[in-house]
Amino acid sequence: MKKWNLIVDVENCTNCNVCTLAVQDEHVGNSFPGYAEEMPKHGHRWIEIMRKERGAGSATDVAYLPTMCQHCDDAPCMKAAPDAVSKRPDGIVIIDPVKAKGRKDLVGSCPYGAIWWNEEKQVPQHWIFDAHLLDAGWKEPRCVTVCATNALQSVKVDDDEMLHLIDKQGLEVLHEEYETKPRVYYKNLWRYTSSFIAGSLSGIRDNKIECLEGLEVQLVFDNENVETQNTDNFGDFKFDKLKARGQTYQVQVIDKGKIVKTIDVILDQSINIGEIILE
């Protein structure tokens, strides 16, 4: 059977928050029996965009990570309240607004922090994948229809086809260690979860400092070459998609086949070594 999945491209998200506003526009002041009670005007962000800044100085980038209910196949909230939370045949998880009344404990059951407590209505709430609209004939959720950068894509396919998409697009899930089997997948997740080592090479020629273009730089870990690059026309290099675990890397500058400079870097987070001046 075909089931709903959401694909989030982290590289395309610009933090415009239009998806968040679309959810609020749909649910604030509107109750949809069997799907969701009305959303509070303030305090709830059923789609919340997280921000992460990497690096420093001239080597800085920012990534935005849209988060929401992951509509897990093995959802902890369903285990906590099987009478009030259910998964539809199409993969969408629904917290029944009547049966879940007073169940504030469900907020803590979600490891992703995607369940919100409505104090006024005394009910836990989440992003329902706009199931009420899909059931009414919509082809995709509102958040997808309003996304100007194509950071969000909804697909309704069978599990085998989804596995093909995962492999083809290099999709990942948030916190795989939770083992909840989420139906929200992320593309270019490394922009948010990985770290980089960057720097710039320059040299002194005729008493002037000039950028060194085309110089070979290699990244070494545990005596093995991780990656080799050549500096660009500004003398810059950047090794990305690294895991920051407090381990020591060596950045080695190669000139005419010889190592002319070695810099030890302890990678706790993305780091900009800055300008490296070669004599």
**DSSP letters along 42-73, please?**
SS--SSEEEEEEEEETTEEEEEEEEE-----T
Q: Enter the tokens of residue 144.
A: 């997808």
d(CA 87, CA 258): 61
pLDDT, residue 55, reads 94
**CB 212: neighbour CB atoms within 10 A?**
21
pLDDT, residue 2, reads 97
pLDDT, residue 276, reads 92
Q: Which residues of 242-268 are buried (b: 16+ CB within 10 A; e: fewer)?
A: bebeeeebbbbbeeeeeeebeeebebe
d(CA 198, CA 216): 14
The share of the chain scoring above pLDDT 90, in percent, equals 95
Q: What type of residue sits at position 241?
A: K
Give the mean pLDDT of 23-48: 97
Phi-psi region of 80 (alpha: psi -120 to 50; beta: other; left: phi over 0): alpha
Residues present in the chain in total: 279
Q: How confident is the model at residue 196 (pLDDT cuts 50, 70, 90)?
A: very high
pTM of the model: 0.92
Give the mean pLDDT of 204-218: 89
Q: How confident is the model at residue 207 (pLDDT cuts 50, 70, 90)?
A: confident
For each of the domains in the chain, give its residue range(s) and CATH number, in order of start. Answer: 3-192 (3.30.70.20), 195-278 (2.60.40.10)
**pLDDT tens digits for range 117-136:** 999 999 999 999 999 999 99
DSSP one-letter string for 14-27: ----HHHHHHHHHH
Q: How confident is the model at residue 206 (pLDDT cuts 50, 70, 90)?
A: confident
CA angle 167, 93, 66 (to 5 degrees): 60
